[in-house]
Amino acid sequence: MDGHDTSQIKNITVVGTGVIGNGWITRFLANGYHVTATDPDPAAEERMRDAVEKAWPAMERMGLADEASMHNLSFETDLEIALTHADFVQENVPEREQLKRKVMAEIDQYTPEETVIASSTSGILPSTLQADCAHQPERVIVAHPFNPVYLIPLVELVGGSKTELFFIEKAKDLYDKLNMKPLVIQKEIEGHVADRLMEAIWRESLHIVNDGVATTEEVDASIIYGPGLRWALMGPFLTLHMGGGKQGMRHLLDQFGPALKLPWTKLVAPELTDELAEKVITGCEKQTDGVEMNSLEERRDQFLIELQQLLEKYWPGANLTGKI
């Protein structure tokens, strides 16, 4: 094996061109890679190119690599042909276990040796994904991104029971070159880390709306103007550490630890009744009344660009890199 040298990785194959796949394509292209996208739907090519073109101004503002070009993108409906010269594979087919396993086995069959096979799955375990791979299951990993992939830097890397560390390290090096923040998760777990945390807040939010405590707009405001501002810089642990004063978390746990036993949170999701669904839907529609989704996406992207610039100014690496 050639160490973790990723300088030879030039050609990326992206399997599946939905929202996540197209986000990856945009990010790879903006960082100077050649991308072959594959999808069994011939109509997917037009949607893919439209998505990349739409996101490109944001990438220009973030900063393009010297070799970056939308012209470095090709589309292929035949999976085997698309994988022939792949130096790295990013899989993004729909979140259906049997489909994922079938596609991963095919990718394993057609891809050159030593090529990392990374899945964007948000919840399926890597051990499950590699179960049907007959050639090199040790190179199959989870590399779970967050939407919009072309701007959000976090990517969760998880290996399965057959995964070799070499391939996780190789993937980590590549994502570093994409200006991402790869987080290597030590144990595989359903939903990985960030989605599990978001799911907990999502469940509580549904209870609060269902019980008539607050509207969807008020729940969102409670995060935007409260903990969300601090979380963007420090996350939940360091935020609470600072809440403990000079003694930090030691004092906070001593003072507020008993409150963890209080039945504040529901944890189990509420029944998604028609009434609750309608509350959530109409609430969100009211929040966005008169604003097109395209306009919301543009506003989100500009905000994320400026927020990341601010984050890098005050907390580079959020200590993932050992810097404070």
pLDDT above 90 for 3? no
pLDDT, mean over the chain: 91
Q: Is there a binding annotation on residue 128?
A: no
pTM of the model: 0.91
Query: What tens digit of pLDDT does each residue of 52-85 get?
Result: 999 999 999 999 999 999 999 999 999 999 999 9
Q: Is 20 annotated as a binding residue?
A: yes
Cβ atoms of 120 and 126 within 8 Å: the answer is no
**Average pLDDT value for residue range 135-157:** 97
Where b means 16+ CB within 10 Å and e means fewer, 295-321 reads: eeeeeebeebeeebeeeeeebeebeee
- Quickly state the pLDDT bin for 2 (edges 50, 70, 90): very low
Q: DSSP 3-state helix, strand, coil percentages of the chain (rounded to 5)?
A: 50, 10, 35
Cβ neighbour number for residue 17 with a 10 Å cutoff: 24
**pLDDT tens, 151-187?**
999 999 999 999 999 999 999 999 999 999 999 999 9
pLDDT band at 322 (very low <50, low <70, confident <90, very high): very low
Is position 17 annotated in a ligand binding site?
A: yes
Is 3 part of any known ligand binding site?
no
pLDDT in tens, 34-57: 999 999 999 999 999 999 999 999
- Return the structure tokens found at 323: 């810097």
Residue 81: the pLDDT is 97
Is 21 marked as a binding-site residue? yes
* The one-letter amino acid at 71: H
By CB neighbour count within 10 A (0-12 exposed, 13-18 middle, 19+ buried), where does 66 fall?
A: exposed
Provide the β-strand partners of residue 140: 117
CA atoms within 13 A on the CB side of 228: 10
19 annotated binding-site participant: yes
- Mean pLDDT calculated for residue range 89-111: 97
Q: Tell me the β-bridge partners of 63.
A: none
Give per-residue pLDDT as tens, 109-128. 999 999 999 999 999 999 99
